[in-house]
Amino acid sequence: MATIVITGANRGIGLELAKQYQARGDHVIAAVRTASSELTGPGIETFEGVDVTDDGAVAKLASALEGRDIDVLINNAGILSRETLDDLDWGRMRAQFEVNALGPLRVTKALLPCLSEGSKVAIISSRVGSLDDNSSGNNYGYRMSKVAVNMAGVNLSHDLKDKGIPVLLLHPGYVRTEMTGMSGGIDPDESARGLIARIDETTMERTGTFWHADGTELPW
């Protein structure tokens, strides 16, 4: 039984990840701002008030988990707002940096004492954070925040190499969740299955790489 910490596990892809890990017998620590009614049952432990932009809230989670071993940390929490060149709202763009780029780094750093050789760190990024893959523009804050988190992930992969902790950047697919207004090509269960498969197959040889949930390696 592995211990899996998931941020933003109360809905969307994070909730589905929690349910699938629970179903296979792992122990899920759901780090959420507010629990949802679906986030219940044996094998699910919920910590509320975990806003990934809040140092104090993340420190509280870290101190609650002191002495525990985490096998997989999944930085999943994220937000999307859609700025165009005609609508560059700096506040919304900063907010996306706070959650999408700084959030995973803040949480990973705070939980490092619970990670050791063989633990894995996954960051749910997005292929819209791929410079090579950008063929359409728009979504300034979201795209820029996901490029930044990709760099944070690659940096972490170097810094955690000596500890034997692989760091993986993942794109979940275009998924029907609140973030996409329930549009998308796949449902969260299919996305979560793919993400879990990618995390399962991750070794140190893959650290610092970027993968689609469907098993395709993505360009930066």
Ligand X SMILES: NC(=O)c1ccc[n+]([C@@H]2O[C@H](COP(=O)([O-])OP(=O)(O)OC[C@H]3O[C@@H](n4cnc5c(N)ncnc54)[C@H](OP(=O)(O)O)[C@@H]3O)[C@@H](O)[C@H]2O)c1
Q: Which of 2, 35, 62, 79 binds ligand X (CB under 6 A)?
A: 79
> By rule CB under 6 A, what count of residues binds ligand X?
29
Q: Which of 178, 181, 203, 219 binds ligand X (CB under 6 A)?
A: 178
Q: Which of 6, 77, 105, 114 binds ligand X (CB under 6 A)?
A: 77
* Residue 200 phi, psi dihedral angles, 5° rounding: -60, -40
Q: How far apart are CA 202 and CA 91, in angstroms?
A: 36
Handedness of CA 47, 53, 57, 63 (dihedral sign): positive
Contacts (CB under 6 A) with ligand X, residues 91-150: 99, 124, 126
Least distance (Å) from ligand X to the CB of residue 122? 11
Q: How far apart are the first and last CA of the chain?
A: 34
Contacts (CB under 6 A) with ligand X, residues 20-39: 33-34
Q: Does 166 help bind ligand X (rule: CB under 6 A)?
A: no
If phi > 0 it is left, if psi is from -120 to 50 it is alpha, else beta; for residue 71 that is alpha
Neighbours of 90 (CB within 10 A): 9
167's tokens: 């760091």
Which residue lies nearer to ligand X by CB, 133 or 204?
133
**Interface contacts to ligand X, rule CB under 6 A:** 7-8, 10-14, 33-34, 51-53, 76-80, 99, 124, 126, 171-172, 174-175, 177-180, 184
